[in-house]
């Protein structure tokens, strides 16, 4: 049973979302169907004019604090010089469900927030079967360059000749490394199937970059013209059990692939 708490960094269009305990049966059913859709609905909740006052308690956050701390409305630190009304200048919300086993995304345009679009189905797995999520797997070339993600990475790697595959770097189910590493830093490594190590920050950035490109391409195809990153509010799932360093690590990966822009400040709220 899980719901969401939201922590926003200032001057960013990237939102980290925590999964926490919740008892609403209707929301649980919705989450079980498509967790990304639930993320989108919750993201629009805190962007609306109505703010719930029954939020979870959390520590106060000072302006400029780089930490990732979910806030309740009474704990918001306001800039006295800031305008009380924040213009909603982005056109679409894209929620990325970065899972341990599989990942995916969904999106909704701000003009039609109730119309949820789940990402294009992935071809992979059993023959003739398409899925709305893809395995959380990444393949790098022998030169350590990004090659593929998801089914494409898994299938390509497993089709390689054994003598050739040992030169490729294949990663799977690597997400929880951020939680299980006691001394996590930006220099922490992940170990590929062939035993070679790569900076974890690079791998997570590759994954987010992949979904960023996929989502922007799909949005551009629908709009008939190129969609800009600045027009998108990005939402990324973060497990509630993660400690502060792991959350900050994921935020840094988002910064690395520019899931942000220097626009007006966005007030952190706890929906």
CATH number at residue 76: 3.30.420
pLDDT tier at 86, thresholds 50, 70, 90: very low
CA of 260: how far to CAs of 14, 127, 167, 265, in Å?
6, 38, 34, 12
| pLDDT of amino acid 29 | 40
- Residue 150 placed within a domain: yes
pLDDT above 70: residue 187: yes
65 is a domain residue: yes
- Please enumerate in sequence order all residues whose Cβ is within 8 A of that of 200, keeping only pairs 6 or more positions apart, or say none: 174, 177, 178, 188, 189, 190, 249
- In this structure, is residue 271 part of a structural domain? no
Q: Is residue 58 part of a domain?
A: yes
Q: Tokens 């926490």 label which residue?
A: 20
Residue 13 has a pLDDT of 62
Which residues form the domain of 224? 3-256
Alpha-carbon distances, residue 32 vs 35, 113, 122, 153, 226 (angstroms): 6, 20, 19, 26, 33
The most confident of 39-48, 70-79, 143-152, 211-220, by mean pLDDT: 143-152
**Between 78 and 247, the higher pLDDT residue:** 247
Question: Is 80 part of a structural domain of the chain?
Answer: yes
pTM of the model: 0.69
| Percent over 70 (pLDDT), the chain | 59
C-beta separation of 77 from 61 below 8 A: yes
- Helix or strand or coil: residue 204? helix
Q: Which of 10-19, 188-197, 246-255, 258-267 has the lowest mean pLDDT?
A: 258-267
Number of domains the chain contains = 1
> How far is residue 241 CA from its own chain's centroid?
16
Average the pLDDT over 203-217 and give the result. Answer: 94
Q: Is residue 261 part of a domain?
A: no
Determine the Cα–Cα distance for residues 144 and 147; give it in Å rounded to an integer.
9
Residue 262 lies in a domain: no
- Taking residues 11-34, report their average pLDDT: 47
Q: By the 8 A CB rule, do 15 and 234 touch?
A: yes
Does residue 269 lie within any of the structural domains?
no
Token representation of residue 122: 């992935």
The least confident of 10-19, 28-37, 153-162, 261-270 is 261-270
Residues 180-201, mean pLDDT to the nearest whole number: 95
Residue 15's pLDDT is what? 59
């Amino acid at each position: 049973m899980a719901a969401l708490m939201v922590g926003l960094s200032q001057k960013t269009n990237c939102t980290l979302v925590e999964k926490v305990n919740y008892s609403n049966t209707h929301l649980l059913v919705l989450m079980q169907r498509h967790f990304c859709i639930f993320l989108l609905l919750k993201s629009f909740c805190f962007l609306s004019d109505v703010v719930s006052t029954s939020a979870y308690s959390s520590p106060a956050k000072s302006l400029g604090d780089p930490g990732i701390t979910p806030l309740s409305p009474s704990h918001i630190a306001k800039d006295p010089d800031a305008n009380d009304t924040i213009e909603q200048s982005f056109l679409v919300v894209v929620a990325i469900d970065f899972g341990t086993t599989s990942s995916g995304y969904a999106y909704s345009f701000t003009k039609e927030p109730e119309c949820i679009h789940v990402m294009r189905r992935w071809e992979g797995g059993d023959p003739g079967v398409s899925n709305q999520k893809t395995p959380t797997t990444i393949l790098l070339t022998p030169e350590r360059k990004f090659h593929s993600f998801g089914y494409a990475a898994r299938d390509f790697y497993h089709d390689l000749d054994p003598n050739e595959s040992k030169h490729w770097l294949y990663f799977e189910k690597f997400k929880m490394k951020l939680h299980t590493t006691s001394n996590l830093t930006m220099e922490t490594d992940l170990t590929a199937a062939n035993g070679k190590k790569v900076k974890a920050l690079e791998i997570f950035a590759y994954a987010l970059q992949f979904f960023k490109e996929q989502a922007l391409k799909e949005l551009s195809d629908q709009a008939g013209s190129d969609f800009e990153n600045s027009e998108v509010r990005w939402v990324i799932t973060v497990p509630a059990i993660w400690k502060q360093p792991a959350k900050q690590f994921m935020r840094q990966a988002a910064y690395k692939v520019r899931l942000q822009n220097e626009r007006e400040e966005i007030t952190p709220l706890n929906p």
